[in-house]
């Protein structure tokens, strides 16, 4: 692999790890918003739709940011009995096609 590609890959890995750190930092904020929402709704009888929206946005952001790091580290959950028996090249093709055929359309639908 050329030096330029190695530097690009290292930068992408660094960016994915940073996204994972941001996702981890969002978790305590999400928990605080959830607790505040429950206390306000069930303890004081007053609900705020803004808190519900905030919790969904925090959850979505942390999930998507964490997904970047998990994919970069190749540690995401797989339920595939055949994958363990395949070569590294075949596994790479399965990952590539899975991302292309499943993840890309999902991202396009969410962004529109």
The distance from CA 52 to its chain's CA centroid, rounded to whole angstroms, is 20
Average pLDDT over every residue of 2-28: 88
**pLDDT for 100 beyond 70:** yes
Residues 83 and 30 in one domain: no
The answer on 19 and 69 residing in a single domain is yes
Give the whole-angstrom CA distance, residue 2 versus residue 39: 56
Assess whether 46 and 69 both reside in one domain: yes
User: Do 37 and 67 belong to one domain?
Assistant: yes
Range with lowest mean pLDDT among 21-30, 36-45, 93-102:
93-102
Q: How confident is the model at residue 35 (pLDDT cuts 50, 70, 90)?
A: very high
Q: Is the pLDDT of residue 78 over 70?
A: no
Q: What percent of the chain has pLDDT over 90?
A: 12
Q: Are 23 and 60 in contact (CB under 8 A)?
A: no
Statement to judge: residues 73 and 83 lie in one domain? no
Pair 73, 104 in one domain: no
pLDDT at res. 68: 78
Domain count, the chain: 2
Task: Please check whether residues 2 and 56 belong to one and the same domain.
Answer: yes
54 and 83 share a domain?
A: no
Ramachandran region of residue 76, left (φ > 0), alpha (ψ -120 to 50) or beta?
beta
Check whether residue 30 and residue 66 sit in a common domain.
Answer: yes
Q: Examine the pLDDT at 31 and tell me if it is beyond 90.
A: yes
For 52, the domain range is 1-77
Residues 54-68 have a mean pLDDT of: 85
Each residue of 67-81: b (16+ CB within 10 Å) or e?
bbbbebeeeeeeeee
- Assess whether 3 and 45 both reside in one domain: yes
* Same domain for 88 and 65: no
Measured in whole angstroms, how far is the alpha carbon of residue 19 from the centre of its chain? 9
């Amino acid at each position: 692999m050329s030096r330029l590609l190695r530097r690009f890959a290292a930068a992408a890995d660094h960016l994915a790890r940073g996204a994972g750190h941001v996702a981890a930092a969002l978790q305590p904020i999400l928990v605080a918003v959830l607790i505040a929402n429950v206390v306000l709704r069930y303890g004081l009888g007053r609900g705020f739709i803004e808190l519900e929206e905030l919790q969904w946005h925090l959850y979505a952001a942390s999930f998507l940011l964490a997904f970047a790091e998990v994919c970069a580290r190749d540690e995401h959950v797989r339920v595939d009995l055949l994958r363990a028996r395949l070569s590294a090249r075949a596994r790479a093709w399965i990952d590539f096609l899975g991302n292309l055929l499943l993840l890309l359309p999902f991202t396009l639908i969410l962004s529109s």
